[in-house]
Every structure is written in structure tokens, then in C-alpha cells.
Structure 1
């Protein structure tokens, strides 16, 4: 339901990037201006919001194969109105906004199917229809307008996960069949409708998937010679199908053919929904995708955005446009970060790029076959993988990623093993957040494991299910998070009970936490004075290098067996960053001295960053009483580290090159190095 706001964004863009002349009425046709009410699905969950529109019968004078922006804009209004009214307790009045829209533009005989006025279930699907007689070049047509519910559908989430074992998406196919059956019932009931008709149909998200498959089915019916009604004729050139944020539900092997190009899909690159069900599992959309402008795809995006913002600011409670401010942060004190998302850590990618990688990994690392996400049609959804995932995504980042337009634009993910103290610290230490979402997997309980294996656990918690009290607590938590990087620092600091507020290494430690370079030793301790091992060092350097693939690389070390460091050691050896103690032994558990740390970093800077061209300084930046005790091999590295502010002396003006490096010292060195590079 929160996705409705992105509908406003699409409408704003449709309006703002089009010349005003586009919206002028066609010759001989009057225009109608009005305001529809719609369920925005955010902040105020029980209040409908207004949106203006302009309509003309003249929008239907051209072939449906031509994309019209004016028609797209008013269709967006119908799409908005087709959501349930905002208050979930008023579900019996669900289609009230759609009926009001049709009345304003002169459409009559409104009817809604039973699903639109009953409490939503797993396979329900709201459909509302009205009709209007118009004339095109003197010839009579009846426009059949069909609005498909795409927001405010609550329990229908489970149907969205019913992908089926083969062919088209089973859950979305059910939507299509319900819509087609109701259209046929409507035409049979209104026998006064005869002759040529035009079909005007729209939907958003789940509704868009139904509309897309419906358009494909109607085109196929025309090819087969079948009719949608007894006394009517419908040509593909008169099927105006406009979808907004349509998931992929069609069988990819059946969508080719120009006949389907009367189906127009308005797509936002920064939305998760348009990427699922994934093409790698054989899904696609019918028709033509019209992709909204984005920073990633459009060279003139800044100009388009400026134009759009002028309109965006006129909407009630529009707030700040944040889609280009997306950042991803993992908070992993003493825990293993979500394997899927942590592999694409960083704040340099756009929302769309993040989603590309997220979906690709989700359906190659976690779910590799449709059977793994398919819900049994006879099951209640709770005991199936898809049912549990449906419950999970409704509370988690997977679902919340659909809201880049909202004020929560920073994704924070807590590990499933997070200590309660960690969660409490986050809840109480920060205030008023525009973060996208926070997921504490410990709050999801009372069910059997959804999937087996470490990769599965990265996305689906070991248990889900959530009671009313926990839901209320989560909602309160989501509304009391902090707004900036400084708040993340405060959070990280608050959970480390063994790190003093004025600790000399605190700034570097916070940086390392924020960027996923180091973890705590427990959920709320850092152990700053503990020693560092060789395996730990190369693992951090491997993360700094963005964890490149080691496929095909050879490693001569027989003791390189630990799963957590195996790839890092293999990479470090092949990159020239690390050597073994012997030709066949790496000694990953051996402690690291300060000069060895400097040598590791120097080789990384030389081999990985500088391509083997790095030159060491001829002297130190500071004077150290024990400079002569530095091992010959480490002198260039120690001078380089000191001159570049990466390593400083210990108390008493000494380098102490052979002293064991502590976790605090190591964290400072890699943080200073990372910030400089």
C-alpha cells in the first residue's frame, strides 16, 4: 500500500516533462478537469489525498498503438482512484474513489466485483467498470473503462509470491482471469452496449500485472477470432492498456509480436517491483516499456528533474524529493551482515543499480528455481516458503525498497543474531529518521525454517510470524530513527561498551564500522587491545578491494582452509599483497606486528592501487628513537605509512615496529588509508 506514492511521482513526471500543448483537447472535444481522491499509503494511513486531472473523449481518437502522454496522465488518475479507500476498516467502500472518478468524467453504470468490497484475501482482486458512449469521426463507440486495484490490497501479498512452477505467474494469472470474467459478465448484463467498443484499462503494481496479462489475453482472443462479448466488437487498435510499475508475470516465450504493442508499461528504474518475477526465471511483460527518467539512464536528467520538481512541490504533503539520495549502510556489530546485501555495500550506487544487483543475487544465490518460491495453491501461505517470504517482505527491506520517493531513503539492516542491547541502543539513541527501513530479524518468530543453508538465511529469517504488539513496536521504531551519518556514528558508539567516548581511535573506528571494514568481537564489544592476525588483515584488505572473484586463482597454502578467510588469502597471494610464512603455509592465525601491518598496506597500495609504481619516501616524517630497529624489508613501508599519516608512534616517541598490532591500531591504519584512497 505504501507504493501508492510512487504513482504520484510517475504522474508528476508525466505532467512535468510534457509540453502543455500535449494536454490541449483534440479538435471538437471538450476537456473535463477534476480532482480524484486516493490512498497515498504513507504517514497518514487513514486519510485519502487529492490529485487533479484533465480528461477528454478526444484522447481515444487515435490508435491505441500510439502512446499518448495526456491519456497516460488521466489514466494515472484512474489508477490512483482504483486503490482501496485509505481506512482498512472501510473495505466495503473500497471502490468509492474509482466510482467518483468515473462520475466526474461522464462514465455511467459503474459496477465493482465482489472482491472490491470484501476483505482482501490471498487470491482476491478488485475490478471496477463503467462505460461512456463517444463518437470518433461521427462513428459511435462505447468506451469500457476498467480500473484494477493495485494498492490497499493487504492480504493479497501472498498471491504476488505464487509464481507457479512453469509458464506465466500463477498469482497474476488469477488476477487476469478475474478481470476478464468480470468484463464479460458486465457486457452480458448491459446488453444495450453493442457494436464497436474501446477498452480503457489500467492498474498499478499487482493491478498492473493483471492489466498487462489481460491486454495480452485480449490480443490473443482477437487473433483466434474470439469475442469479449456477444454483441460487441473490439479491435486491438481500440485497446488502450496503460500499466504503472508492472511486475513481470507473462511467459517470456510468448510476449513477442507487434500486436501486443497496444500495452504501454510506465516503468520506474528505481523500483524493485518492475524487476520481479525475474527474467532469469522466464518472466517478462507484454507490450512496450516506457522508462521514467533517472540519473543512471538519462544524460539530461538534471533538466528533467528541475522541471518535475516544479510540479512535485505543488502536491499536498509532497515533502522532500529524495530518490537521488539513496544510501545503503550495514550495521554489523558482532554479527554477520546479510550476505546478499552486504556484498553490494556502499553509498556510491543509485537506487536502481542497487536493485539490479540485489535482484540478480536474490535469484541466483538464494532462490535458484521457481519451485523454491512457489506457494502451493491449496496451502494457506503460512507453511510454504513463499508464504513465509511474503510475511517477511512485508516487514523488511525487500518490500521497503519500493519506496525511494519516501522520506526513508537510507537502508539499514541488522543481522538476525543481533543482541537485544544492540536493538535497544538503536531505538533509544537516535531520533526522527528519514531512513528507509530497519529490519531486526529477531522480531520475526513462531514459524519453522523457511529455507535451509546459509544463503537462504541471508534473506529469509529462520522464523517469521509477528504478533500485533511487535508490529506496533516496529512501527514506532521506524518512526524514531535518526537522520544523518552522525546518528549512525552515535549508534555505533553506543553499543560498544569497551570503547570510551574520548578514545583516541574512536573516529577511525566509526569510519571502519560505517564502511563495513571491521566487526565487533561481540554484539557490544570491540576489544580494542586484542591482537590482530594475518588472516584478519588480508580479509579486511579483500573487503577494501570490493571482494573480487577468486575463481580460477590458485593458492599454494595447505593451511588455507577456514571458510571465512579462504577467498581473501587466495586473492592476497595472487594480487601480490601477501606471501606465506613458507611456500606451503600462510599461517593465518599468526599475530601481526606493526611493521608487518605497514608492509601489508604498502603492498596493497602498490599492487592494487598504483599498479606497481608506488615509490617509498627516503625518510620518516617524524623522528623516532627506534627507527633503526625496523626490519630492512619493512623500512620503505614504514616510511611510506608514516609520511602518509597512516601510522604514528607509540608513547615515548617510538615506532615499536616488532610490537604486536592491536585491533585499535589496525582499525586506525586501515581507516586512514581507506579515507585517503
Structure 2
């Protein structure tokens, strides 16, 4: 009898523990839902978010050099680094289809700055507003990073996953530029798009056509990147509508990774006749580590010769989605040095020295990973006929096996994708 009573008490104890666990889980779920709902209200009402800083920019004309500071992961200490860059307003009165190595390097640094800006918009962060300071150094008197609000906190990323939204954060800066040679004037607008951040990674696999998207430009463009680009287009159009029709406009688009893909699409829209931003007199784009973002016919046509996509041969990201599935980028690809290129060893040594000087540590990227990247991409292409096949559960299992068989070291491959690996290469090539 005593044994039965003890057994009954144990069963009651177990049952009570389960009931408590369920109650706590329900409470946590309700509490979480309440927090998320409160955040949605904050977004709508525009409260409880970090505000953009106000900085005074010094008017700077003619060619000059300056130092831009920004945050960089994997640097030796403090994650704050600096890069020396060049600037000349005269660039924007020259042929936009002519590759400018100095401008490419500056845009690569600005793309890293755009990624670092997220830290400023986190509650309690002591990180400076890198983008505002950077553009002030370059003489821009109007800098807007408002899109980072409600898109830089962990809570906002959780909401992004739950709501299934594709958002984007970007810096938009303007200045009047004057040609030293002709006296001509333009309003230059620079748009630098943040790379993949938190839940934005999910948009990288939304590659289906955009025909059902309101305001979509091309049915063949990557859906996730299109949704992000459309938001920026709306911002640019609203600003253009407020200008005197006689004002000549110039656009410069840049970004790294996802940011590069969005910048690539923005430039293609500006080059086409299907949007208000296409009325700009002068357009150019410098994108970095850019994934394939369209299956549109003519993406490599002369109409997009003002778009330059700078790519590292040992970086896997620019290979995806695969070209054999029909995907590519708008404009022209500019490949960084690869093994067997003339003078490669000297260039590699200079790149590593530049990286170490900026980051305070050795560059972990290995140009020899080009063979691994090609092998892995070839394996994926031979096993899967489409992106949909790849991202299904069975496909992902097979993908993991392909990675093992191809000798993929994810951490090392990621180093070839780092913004500062690109910056170091471009530093020695300018």
C-alpha cells in the first residue's frame, strides 16, 4: 500500500511538473507575442528608436584624400578600423562607362561603412554614426540613414522572420558637384545599401520572379532583392519630385553582397526607361561580392556598361544562384586577381600587407580556394537543375554532402567574402 501511494505521488509530481512547464511555455509565448506587438506599435508611431545624428559637413571641392573610420568584424581589437580613400567631384563629369579604380576603392569602403552603421542604431550602443561621419568627410551636406531605424535591433529581426517582410537599410547622401573644367553643376546622390543583416538573409533565397510584386520593374529579377530595391526607388522618386525640373541629377549606387545585388538592380532601373529615376543624366554603380540577381535577357547589354561588379574569384557568393540555372548580374564583372595571373604573388603580398595594416591581423582568405569554389559550384550544378530543387529538405541534405566532398571550409571561404578582403585588394590595384 505504501509503495502504491509513493508511486501515485510520483505520478502526480510528474503531472504537476508537466502542467507547470506548459503554463510557463504558454506564458513565455504570450509575453513574447506582447513584446512583438508592442514593437509593431512602436514602428507605426515612430517611438523608442535611436535617432539619426546631426553633423555639419565641410564644403570640399577638387581632388582630395581623407580617412574614413568604420566598424569591421574580425579586426584585431575593438572592431574599429580606418581606410584612406580618394575623392574628386570631377569624376561625375567623366564617362560613366569607364572603370575608375579610385572610385571603386572608395565605394568598397563606403559599403563597409554602410554595414557598420547598424551598430549605431542599437539601443545602448556607443558605436559612432559611421555613415554620417564618412560622408561629412567627403563633403556631403545631406545624409540620411533613417531606414536603419527599426531595422538594426534583434527584436526587429525576429519580427522580420515572423512577418516575412523583405526590408533594406541604406544610406542616402547628396551634394552639389561642380566641374572644374566646364563649370557645369549636378546634384549627386549616392546610395549605399547595407549587406545581409539578420533575417535579411532569408530574402537571399526568394529568387522567384517578381511579376506579382507591385511596382516591380522586371519579372526576371530576384524577388527578395527586388522588394528591397523598390523601397529605395520610392524614396528616390519622392526626392526627385521635389526638385526643380532643371536640376541635373547624377546617381552612384554601391553595396556589398546583398547590398551589391540591390545596388545592381537600382542601377539597372536607372538605366532603363521604365522609371522616374531613369531621367537622371548620369548613373554609375560599383558593387562588391554581388550574387547573381536576374535572369533577364540583355542584362549584359551595352545599356548597363556603367555598372561594375567587383568580384573575388575565390568567393562563392558571386557564383550563386548558378549561371547554369540562367542567372547573372546586370553590367560588367571586374574580377580581382587570381592565381596564375601575371604578377599575382607580388599583388597577393601587397594585399595581405594592406589587410594587416587595416585590420591588425593576417588575412585568412586563401586564393587557392578558387578550385574549391569551382568544384562545389560544378557539383551543385550537376546534381540540381534549379534553385527550388536545392532548397528543398532533401536538397539541403545533399548540399551538405556536396560541401564535404568538395572540401569546403566554410569559415575560410567566408574570409574571401569579407568586405575588408575586397578593400585590401582594391587598395593595391588603384
Asked if TM exceeds 0.5, the reply is yes
CA distance in 1, matches of 2:238, 2:124: 21
In 2, are the aligned partners of 1:322 and 1:404 still within 8 Å (CA)?
A: yes
Alignment partner of 1:353 is 2:350: no
1:399 Cα deviation from its structure 2 partner: 5.3
Alignment partner of 1:183 is 2:228: no
1:235-634 to structure 2, matched below 5 A, reads 235=281, 238-296=282-340, 298-320=341-363, 322-324=365-367, 350-365=368-383, 367-373=384-390, 400=411, 402-405=413-416
Q: Given the superposition, is the C-alpha separation of residues 406 and 157 from structure 1 closer, same or farther in structure 2, using an over 3 Å criterion?
A: closer
1:170 Cα deviation from its structure 2 partner: 1.3
Q: Which residue of 1 aligns with 2:141?
A: 108
Match of 2:185 among 140, 143, 154: 140
1:309 Cα deviation from its structure 2 partner: 3.9
1:351 Cα deviation from its structure 2 partner: 0.5
TM-score w.r.t. length of structure 2: 0.68
CA distance in 1, matches of 2:147, 2:417: 32
CA distance in 1, matches of 2:318, 2:327: 11
1:185 Cα deviation from its structure 2 partner: 2.6
In 2, are the aligned partners of 1:46 and 1:88 still within 8 Å (CA)?
A: no
Q: Which residue of 1 aligns with 2:277?
A: 228
CA distance in 2, matches of 1:55, 1:66: 16
Q: Given the superposition, is the C-alpha separation of residues 301 and 281 from structure 1 closer, same or farther in structure 2, using an over 3 Å criterion?
A: same
Q: Secondary structure at the match of 1:145?
A: strand
Q: Secondary structure at the match of 1:125?
A: coil
Q: Given the superposition, is the C-alpha separation of residues 373 and 180 from structure 1 closer, same or farther in structure 2, using an over 3 Å criterion?
A: farther
Match of 2:255 among 203, 224, 229: 203
1:295 Cα deviation from its structure 2 partner: 0.8
1:280 Cα deviation from its structure 2 partner: 1.3
Matched residue count: 331
Residues 230-259 of structure 1: per-residue CA shift (max 9 Å, x gap): xxx413xx2120001110011152313201
Q: Which residue of 2 aligns with 1:534?
A: none
Q: Secondary structure at the match of 2:139?
A: coil
RMSD over aligned CA atoms reads: 3.5
Alignment partner of 1:80 is 2:112: yes
Alignment partner of 1:217 is 2:269: yes
1:115 Cα deviation from its structure 2 partner: 4.8
Residues 531-552 of structure 1: per-residue CA shift (max 9 Å, x gap): xxxxxxxxxxxxxxxxxxxxxx
CA distance in 2, matches of 1:147, 1:185: 18
Unaligned runs of 5+ in 1: 1-27, 325-349, 375-383, 408-677
Q: Which residue of 1 aligns with 2:88?
A: 56
Q: Which residue of 2 aligns with 1:170?
A: 223
1:84 Cα deviation from its structure 2 partner: 3.6
Alignment partner of 1:156 is 2:167: no
CA distance in 2, matches of 1:139, 1:272: 43
Q: Given the superposition, is the C-alpha separation of residues 187 and 108 from structure 1 closer, same or farther in structure 2, using an over 3 Å criterion?
A: farther
Residues 36-59 of structure 1: per-residue CA shift (max 9 Å, x gap): 233322267973322222222122
CA distance in 2, matches of 1:203, 1:387: 30
1:92 Cα deviation from its structure 2 partner: 9.6
Q: Given the superposition, is the C-alpha separation of residues 300 and 98 from structure 1 closer, same or farther in structure 2, using an over 3 Å criterion?
A: same
1:91 Cα deviation from its structure 2 partner: 7.1
Match of 2:166 among 123, 139, 142: 123
Q: Secondary structure at the match of 2:305?
A: helix
Bigger RCO of structures 1 and 2 (CA < 8 A, at least 6 apart): 2
Q: Given the superposition, is the C-alpha separation of residues 89 and 268 from structure 1 closer, same or farther in structure 2, using an over 3 Å criterion?
A: same
CA distance in 2, matches of 1:279, 1:385: 22
In 1, are the aligned partners of 2:261 and 2:291 still within 8 Å (CA)?
A: yes
CA distance in 2, matches of 1:110, 1:300: 41
CA distance in 2, matches of 1:269, 1:116: 35
Q: Which residue of 2 aligns with 1:90?
A: 122
Residues 75-112 of structure 1: per-residue CA shift (max 9 Å, x gap): 12211111144749827989921122111111122223
Q: Secondary structure at the match of 1:266?
A: strand
Residues 557-608 of structure 1: per-residue CA shift (max 9 Å, x gap): xxxxxxxxxxxxxxxxxxxxxxxxxxxxxxxxxxxxxxxxxxxxxxxxxxxx
CA distance in 1, matches of 2:410, 2:166: 19
1:194 Cα deviation from its structure 2 partner: 4.9
CA distance in 2, matches of 1:220, 1:65: 15
Q: Secondary structure at the match of 1:250?
A: coil
Q: Secondary structure at the match of 2:94?
A: coil
CA distance in 2, matches of 1:202, 1:386: 36
Residues 346-382 of structure 1: per-residue CA shift (max 9 Å, x gap): xxxx2011111102212331x33233356xxxxxxxx
1:141 Cα deviation from its structure 2 partner: 0.6
In 2, are the aligned partners of 1:270 and 1:404 still within 8 Å (CA)?
A: no
Q: Given the superposition, is the C-alpha separation of residues 193 and 147 from structure 1 closer, same or farther in structure 2, using an over 3 Å criterion?
A: farther
CA distance in 1, matches of 2:385, 2:319: 16
In 1, are the aligned partners of 2:325 and 2:387 still within 8 Å (CA)?
A: yes
In 1, are the aligned partners of 2:113 and 2:130 still within 8 Å (CA)?
A: yes
Residues 144-203 of structure 1: per-residue CA shift (max 9 Å, x gap): 11111115x121111111121683221122222122122223333x53685211101100
In 1, are the aligned partners of 2:111 and 2:256 still within 8 Å (CA)?
A: yes
Q: Secondary structure at the match of 1:254?
A: coil
1:289 Cα deviation from its structure 2 partner: 0.8
